[in-house]
Amino acid sequence: MAQGVQKTPVLDRSQRRLPRHVGIIMDGNGRWAQKRGLPRSAGHTVGAQNFKKITRYCASIGIEYLTVYAFSTENWKRSKTEVRALMRLFQQYLEESLRDFLDENIKVRFIGDTTAFSPKLQKLIEETKRVCEHRTGMVLNIAMNYGGRAEIVHAVQALARDVQQGLLTPDAIDEQAIASRLYTAGQPDPDLIIRPSGEMRVSNFLLWQSAYTEYVVSDILWPDFTPEDLEQALDDYCLRHRRFGGVEEA
C-alpha cells in the first residue's frame, strides 16, 4: 500500500505537477514527546505548531485542498488526560485562528461529527467556518472526530432517508450518489496522502476517497516534519505514473 520516502532527484519545481489535494495523517506526536521524556500533551502542542507551518506552506506553493487528520473517532479511547489536552489545544488553535489569521486566504472546513465536542468548541468551529466562508484560497479540511467508516455510514443513512422519502430510488444509488453525501462532497479525491511516523496503515482515513490515492510514508515524526520533507514527498509523487486501475501502455 504505502512506500517510504525515497531520496529522489530534486525536480524542476517551476514545471512540477502538483497534486490538487493532499492529505496528511499527523502521526507521531506522542512518540516524539516520549523520546524526550515529556508528557504526550507536549508532543501534541509542538505538532499543532507544525500543523500551522505546514498548512501555510501548502497554501503558498499552490496546493488547492489540504486535509489533515487531527482527531479520529478512535482517539476517544486514549486517556482522559490526553483527550482533555487535545480538546484544550483545539480550542486554543481556533481562538488564535479567529484572532491572528484574519488576513489569510485559507478556507477552513471541518469534517467529522463535531456534535460530540463541547458547546464552546462547537461554537468556535461554527464561528471559524463563518469567518472563512467567502475566502477563495486553499481549502483546509480539519478532520475532527472523523473516521472513514463512520463517514460512509453517515452517507448511506442520508441515502436511505432520501429513498424513504421518495426522493431517490435504490437503482439510482451509484458511486456519485455516495460521494455527494460524504463530508468532502464537491472536492476532488486526494491525489497524495502523507503519513509521517513510519506506520504502514491507513488508520480509517478517507477510505472512500483514497481508492486510487498515492501514499508516501516517512519515518519522521510529525513534530519534526518540515517543508523540506513535504517537498521530498511531492517530488516522490511527481515521479509516479498513476494508472487508476488501467494498464500502462508499452
**Which amino acid does the sequence have at 115?**
T
Task: Give, for 69, the enclosing helix (H) or strand (E).
Answer: strand 65-72
Residue from 75, 204, 224, 229 carrying the catalytic annotation:
75
Strand order in the sheet with 21-25: 107-111, 139-146, 65-72, 21-25, 192-195, 214-217
Whether 75 is catalytic: yes
**Which amino acid does the sequence have at 157?**
Q
Q: Which three cell numbers stand for residue 95?
A: 481562538
Task: Say which residues have a Cβ less than 8 Å from residue 85's Cβ, sequence separation at least 6.
Answer: 40, 41, 44
Residue from 27, 189, 191, 235 carrying the catalytic annotation:
27
Known catalytic residues are 27, 75
